[in-house]
């Protein structure tokens, strides 16, 4: 996996078919071909379902961009309107 520093102390580990977001060694979110998995506190702070799972059919796009202000990568999700 390729490792990229993201905002604050977050790290993105990226491979061709999956990626995961962590703070140090603590996993925050993992993405595979089936969708995203995340913990309750991560979900709560980002207004995601507390079940900790977004199926592939609810995710329209994953986006990433460089922010000059804090000199780090930021990522985001575009989800279906029903979410």
From first to last of its 83 residues, the chain has per-residue pLDDT tens of 899 888 778 898 999 999 999 998 889 999 999 999 999 998 999 888 999 999 999 999 888 888 888 887 787 889 888 76
Alpha helix (H) residue ranges in 3-58 = 40-45
> What is the rounded distance in angstroms from the CA atom of residue 20 to the CA atom of residue 1?
10
63: which strand partners? 76
Query: Which has the closest alpha carbon to 77: 54, 45, 52?
Result: 54
pTM of the full structure: 0.74
Tell me how many domains the chain contains: 1
Range of the domain at 13: 2-79
Compute φ and ψ for 39, nearest 5 degrees: -85, 170
The distance from CA 28 to its chain's CA centroid, rounded to whole angstroms, is: 8
Which pLDDT value is given to residue 7?
76
């Amino acid at each position: 996996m390729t490792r990229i520093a993201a905002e604050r102390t977050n790290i993105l580990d990226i491979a061709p078919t999956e990626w995961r977001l962590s703070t140090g060694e603590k996993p925050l979110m993992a993405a595979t071909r089936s969708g995203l998995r995340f913990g309750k506190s991560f979900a709560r702070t980002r207004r995601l379902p507390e079940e900790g799972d977004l199926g592939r059919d609810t995710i329209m796009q994953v986006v990433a961009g460089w922010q000059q202000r804090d000199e780090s990568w930021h990522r985001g999700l575009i989800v279906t309107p029903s979410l």
